[in-house]
Structure 1
Amino acid sequence: MSMFTIAWKDIRIRLNDRKSFITLLLMPIILTAILGSALSGAFSENGSLPELTAGVVVNKQDDLADRFLHDTLQGKELKDSIILKKYKTEAALRNAIEEGKVDAGLVIPDGWGEGIMKGGTVPVKLFKDPGKDIQYSILSTITESFTKRVTTVSAATRTVGQELSSAVPVSSQNIDLSATMKDLSEKLTDIADSKENGVTTQKGGKEPLSGMQYYAAAMGAMFILFNTTMGAKMVIQERNTDTLARLMISPIRHSSIIGGKFLGTFSFTVLQFTVFVMTTHYIFGVNWGSNIAQLILVGVAYSVSVSGLAMMLAGFMTEEKTVDSIGGIGVQVLALLGGSMIPLASFPESMQQFASIAPNKWALGGFLDIMNGASWDTLILPVTVLVLIGLASLWIGSLKLKLR
C-alpha cells in the first residue's frame, strides 16, 4: 500500500497547485479553441486535394503526352485542383519554381510516349519547391500512376500481338490480325484517357479531419508532455528537502518509492487527458472517434511514456531551475518536432523521419488514426513505442535515483 499512498500524496499536491492546474488543464483547452477556430481553413474539410500549380516542359509533342496533360492533369477530376503552366525550357521552369510561380515542375523528354508504348524507359524529370512537398508528391504520384498503367497495357498488347502472330500460320481460323491489334490499341487509348488514370477526391466513407479535431489532439499531446517536468520537479523537491532520503532509509522498499512517484505522475496525466477529452468533446464538439477503448489505450500508453520520462529527468537533474529551463525548452522542441504546432505533412521527408524520436508524435498519430476510424492493428506500433519509451525511461531513472 505504500506505493499507492505516495502516489495519492503526489496527486493531492498537484491538484492543490493552481499554477499546475492552469498550465496543464486550462491552457490546452484555451489554445485548442483559438488554434482550431483560426486555422481550420488550413485543413481540407471538403475532401478536396490541395491546390497545385504545376509547370510543364514538353520537349517534343506526342499523342500520349497530350493525353496525359489534357485528359489526366486537366481532366474532370483534377482540373479544379491543378493549374497547368507550360514553359519552353527546363531553365525557365527552374526559374519559375525559384520565384514561387509554380509549386512543382515536370519535364517530358523526347520520345517519352513512344518509349512507353514500346516498353522502354524514358523517365520524366520532376522538380519541386522545397516548401511544397505535398504538391510535389501529388504530381509525382499522378505521373507515376499514369506511366505504370500505360506501360502495363502496352506490354499486354504486344504480348497478345506476338501470340497471335505465331498462332496464325498453324490456325485453321481466319484471324484479322491488323483489326485485332487496332482494337487493342483503341482499348489502350481508352485506358489512358480514362479517369482511372487520375486521382479522384472521394472521401471513401470517412469525413476528413477538421482543424478543431487536429489541434485538439495536438494540444492534448503537447500539454500532457509537460508532465515530464512537473513530475521530475516533485521528485527533486523531495530530494532537496531530504524527504526522499528519509523515504529511502525507511522500511519502504526502493521499488515502492519509485513506483509511487511514477504512479502519481501517471495518475495525474490520465486525469488530465480524461478532463481534456471530455471538455473538448462537450464544449467544442470535437469528435475523438467512435471507439472509446482505442482512445483509452493510446491515452494510457502515452501516460506511461510521459511518466517514465519524468522519472528519467529526475534521475539526471538536481536543480528545479534546470528542469524548468531544459525541460521547458525540450518540451517545446518535441512539440514542434512531433507535429503539435505544425502538421508533420508540412515538413520535409527527412524531418518527418527524424520526428519519430518525439513521443508526442506517436501519441498524436494514434489520436488522429482513431478519429479516422483506424483498426486495432494500426495502433500496435504507436502503443508499443510509447510503452517501451516509458518503461525504458523508468528503468534508467530508477537506477540513477538509487545511486543518489
Structure 2
Amino acid sequence: MNIWTIMTYELRRQLRSRTWLLNMILLPVVLIFLLGASLSGVVGVEGAETVNQVKVAIVDTAAAAPAKSAALDAFVKSDEVKDYISPFEVQTREEAESGLRTGKYGYAVIVPQGFDSEIQSGGQAELELILGKNHSDNTTAGTVFDNFLSEINYKQAAAMTLGPEALTAAIPAMADQPAVQLGNLNNGGKTYTASQFYAASMLLMFLLYSGLTVTSSLFSEKDNHTLFRIHSMPVKGSQLFIGKMLGVGVITMLQCAAIIIFTNLLFGVYWGNRPWLLILFCLLMIIASMTFSILVCMFSKTSATATNIVNIVTVGMTFLSGGMAPLPDSWVNSVGAFTINHWELQAIIRMMLHSGFGQILPNLLVMSAMCLVLIGGVVFTYRKVGYHE
C-alpha cells in the first residue's frame, strides 16, 4: 500500500510541473520538426530512386528491311520497356559511336546479321552492347538488354534439353515477370526520411534525459530534509525507493507515448509495422535510463554532480551513435556499438523499414543483457549504499 501511495504522489508532483511538460514533451517535438525539415537532404531517403529514359542507338547490320531483327524490334517497342529506353535506328556503327561521344545517345546496340535466323535454328542469341558516358544509363539499358538475351537463351536451352513441351509450360510463368523491376534491398521496399530518423534519435535522447527526473526525485527528499522524517514513519526504505521509481517510470512512459503520437499526427512520422516490439524497445530504454541514473545518484554526493554526469553521458551516447549528425558507418558500428542509443536506434530504423524479425533480434538481446546488468548493479549498490541522508 505504501508503494502505491508514494507512486501516486510522485505522479501528481511531476504532472503539476510545467517545466517537465515543456522540456520533456514540447521540446523534443519541436526539435524533431526542426531537424527533420532542415536536414531532409542530408539524412534519410525521401523516396525511391527514379530511372530516366535512356536514348539507345540500334544498329541493325542487315541491309534490307525484311532481314532486320523482328524480335528485337518488337521488344524495344513493347510496353514493359518503353518507360526505360527510347530506341533510335542508326545506319552505321560509326554514327552510333559518334552519338555516344557527343551525348546524343546514352547507349548503343549492334545487332549482327541473321540474328533472328540464328535464334530460330537453335543458336545462342548475342548482341554487341556499347556503353555510353553515364553510369546510370549504362546500368538501366544494360539490364534491359541482358534480360532480353537471358530470356531468349533460357527458352533455347529449355527447348533443346527438355523438348518443346517444357518451353510451352515455361512461357506463361515468364510472361508474368516484368523485364525490369524497381525496388529496394533488405527493407521491404520502404525508405526512411530525416523526420523519421530524428524522431527516433530524439525520442531515445529524451528517454535518457528522463534520468534527470530520477535524479531530481531522489535528491529532492535529501535536499528538503524530508527523507529523515519519512524514515521515521512506518515506511521501509525499499518501499520509498520502489514507489519513486514506479512513479518516474509511469511518467516516462507517458512522455514516450506522447512523443510517438504527436510526431505521427503532426508530421506523419511512420514508426513501423511492429507496435508491440516498438513498445518493448521503449520499455527497455526506460529501464536502462532509470537504472543508470540510479547508479549515478548512489555514487554522487550532490544533485549537481549527478545531473552533470547524466547530461554528459546522454549527449555523448547520442553523438557517438550518430543520432545528432551523420557519422561514418565504420565509426558508428565500432565506437557507437558501446552505447545504448546505437542498439535502440538501429532497431527502430529497421522496424520503420519493415526488416525481418531476425535482423532486429540481436538488438533485442543486447538491450536485454544491458538492462539485466544495470538492474543487477542497482540491486547490489542499493544493498551496499541504500537510500538515506
**For residue 195 of structure 1, what is the aligned residue in structure 2?**
none
CA distance in 1, matches of 2:295, 2:329: 31
The aligned counterpart of 2:45 is 44
When Rg is computed on C-alpha atoms for both structures, the one with the higher figure is: 2
Matched AA of 1:395: V
Cα offset, 1:390, TM superposition: 4.3
Read off the aligned partner of 2:20 and give its amino acid letter.
Answer: S
1:359 aligns with 2:340: yes
Structure 2 residue matching 1:287: 3-state secondary structure: coil
Q: Distance in 2 between matches of 1:270 and 1:400?
A: 29
CA 1:388 to 1:339, structure 2 compared with 1: closer, same or farther past 3 Å? Answer: farther
User: Aligned partner of 2:368: which letter?
Assistant: T
Alignment-derived partner of residue 257 in structure 2: 274
1:381 to 365, 368, 378: 365
Q: Give the 3-state SS of the residue equivalent to 1:21 in structure 2.
A: helix
Residue of structure 1 in register with 2:165 after alignment:
none
| 2-structure distance, mates of 1:256, 1:323 | 23
Kindly report which structure 2 residues correspond to 1:2-401, keeping only aligned pairs within 5 A, or say none: 2-42=2-42, 43-48=44-49, 74=135, 76=137, 202-204=183-185, 205-343=188-326, 346-347=327-328, 349-377=330-358, 378-379=360-361, 380-399=364-383, 401=385
Q: Which one has a larger percent helix, Structure 1 or Structure 2? A: 1
TM-score by length of 2: 0.61
SS of equivalent residue, structure 2 residue 296: helix
Deviation at 1:75, TM superposition (A): 6.6
Q: Distance in 2 between matches of 1:13 and 1:319?
A: 21
Please give the per-residue CA displacement for 1:98-151, whole angstroms capped at 9, x wherever unaligned: xxxxxxxxxxxxxxxxxxxxxxxxxxxxxxxxxxxxxxxxxxxxxxxxxxxxxx
Structure 2 CA distance for partners of 1:266 and 1:208, relative to 1, 3 Å: same
Amino acid at match of 1:381: L
Q: 1:369 to 1:351 in 2, by over 3 A?
A: closer
Partner of 1:55: none
Deviation at 1:285, TM superposition (A): 0.7
Describe the shift of the 1:376–1:11 C-alpha distance in structure 2 as closer, same or farther (beyond 3 A): farther
Partners of 2:239 and 2:222 in 1: CA distance:
16
**Deviation beyond 6 Å, 4+ runs, structure 1:** none
Letter in 1 for 2:365: L
Which amino acid counterpart does residue 296 of structure 2 have in structure 1?
A: L
Measure the CA separation in 2 of the matches of 1:201 and 1:336: 35
**5+ long unaligned stretches in structure 2:** 51-130, 142-180
Percent identical among aligned pairs is 24
Question: Structure 1 residues 276, 75: closer, same or farther in 2, change over 3 A?
Answer: closer
Question: CA offset at residue 17 of structure 1?
Answer: 1.6
Instruction: Indicate conservation of the 8 Å contact 1:231/1:310, yes or no.
Output: yes
Q: Is the 8 A contact 1:305 1:386 kept in 2?
A: yes
Alignment partners' CA distance in 2, 1:275 and 1:231:
19
Secondary structure of the 1:353 match is coil
Counterparts of 2:382 and 2:303 in 1: how far apart (Å)? 18
Cα 1:246–1:373 shift into 2, 3 Å: farther
CA deviation profile, 1:254-275 (whole Å, cap 9, x unmatched): 3322222221221111110001
CA RMSD of aligned residues (A): 3.1
Q: Is the 8 A contact 2:237 2:387 kept in 1?
A: no
2: CA distance between counterparts of 1:77 and 1:312?
Answer: 59
TM-score by length of 1: 0.59
Contact 1:77 1:201 survives alignment (8 Å):
no
Say if 1:36 and 1:211, in contact at 8 Å, map to a contact too.
Answer: yes
> How many residues are paired up?
265
Matched position secondary structure for 1:206: coil
Question: How far apart, CA to CA, are the structure 2 residues paired with 1:25 and 1:389?
Answer: 29
Residue identity in the other structure for 1:357:
F
Give the corresponding residue for 1:147. Answer: none
Q: Distance in 2 between matches of 1:253 and 1:360?
A: 35
Q: 2:387 and 2:198 mapped to 1: Cα distance?
A: 41
- SS of the aligned residue for 1:271 comes to helix
